[in-house]
Amino acid sequence: MSAKVSFTAMEHASREDYDLVFEHERQEMQGQAARIIHWLKTMDGDSPYQISRLDHCLQTATRAQRDGADDETVVCALLHDIGDAIAPANHSQVAAAMLRPYISDKNYWVLLHHGLFQGYYWMHYYDQDRNARDELRNHPYYQDCVDFCANWDQTSFDPHYDTLPLDHFIPLVEALYAGTPKPCV
Ligand SMILES: [Fe+2]
Ligand SMILES: [Fe+2]
């Protein structure tokens, strides 16, 4: 059994208690990449698309890499829809929050808003404004998000595309999560 803290309420904890807790958290973070990859694999199932949700993620990342995107951006492309696994109502925010400590402000912003920007391709069929994203058009990363969707996300439902396998991307995920996380509170 692992060592235990002395307290039952945080207000009674000591520095030694928190040292113990934070060391445990540090060790847990070493398994984060493996847990995320496991989570991604759960998206490999039936879908109404011609490919699985996992293959959509892989294809998005493949296109990003072939377009010369840096490794961080490729991982963001790989994980951009991972929020669908537990939070389909706000999957963009989940992916953005999960990656935020390890990525640039630009990639965070693109992940956070990609769902809205993808709406350009479907909202008009449901009497919604497909240009709703244009409320953000003066933001410095607006065009990056338009391009992410146009070139990588909305195109990546093709069963005939030469998509790279998950094993190809795992080292990139591991390298990203091996970095020191930025505080995000
Ligand atoms: Fe998405
Ligand atoms: Fe997507």
> With bands split at pLDDT 50, 70 and 90, how would you rate the model's confidence at 109?
very high
- Ligand 2 center to 175 CA (angstroms): 22
Element at 73 (helix H, strand E): helix 71-79
Ligand 2 center–CA 155 separation, angstroms: 9
Read off the pLDDT of residues 130-156 as tens digits, 9 standing for 90 and up.
999 999 999 999 999 999 999 999 999
Q: How far is the CA of 179 from the centre of ligand 2 (A)?
A: 25
Give me the pLDDT at residue 33, please.
96
- The tokens for 156 are 């990546």
Q: What is the pLDDT of residues 85-100, one digit of tens each?
A: 889 999 999 999 999 9
Give the pLDDT score at 185: 74
* Domain 13-177, CATH: 1.10.3210.10
User: How sure is the predictor about 27, in pLDDT bands with cuts at 50, 70 and 90?
Assistant: very high
How many angstroms does the Cα of residue 180 sit away from the middle of ligand 2? 27
Query: How many angstroms separate the CA atoms of 123 and 116, rounded?
Result: 9
What was the pLDDT predicted at 86? Answer: 87
Domain ranges across the chain: 13-177
CA distances from 163 to 61, 136, 168 (A): 9, 32, 10
pLDDT more than 70, % of the chain = 100
Q: Tell how far the Cα of 115 is from the centroid of ligand 1, in angstroms.
A: 5
Q: What mean pLDDT is reported for the chain?
A: 96
**What pLDDT shows up at residue 101?**
97
Query: Does residue 1 carry a pLDDT above 90?
Result: no
pLDDT greater than 90 at residue 11: yes
Task: Give 151's contacts (C-beta < 8 A, 6+ positions apart).
Answer: 63, 67
Average pLDDT score over residue span 116-128: 98
Ligand 2 centre from 62 Cα, in Å? 13
DSSP 8-state assignment for residue 143:
H
Residue 173 confidence (pLDDT) above 90: yes
Q: Look at residue 68 in the predicted model and tell me its pLDDT.
A: 98
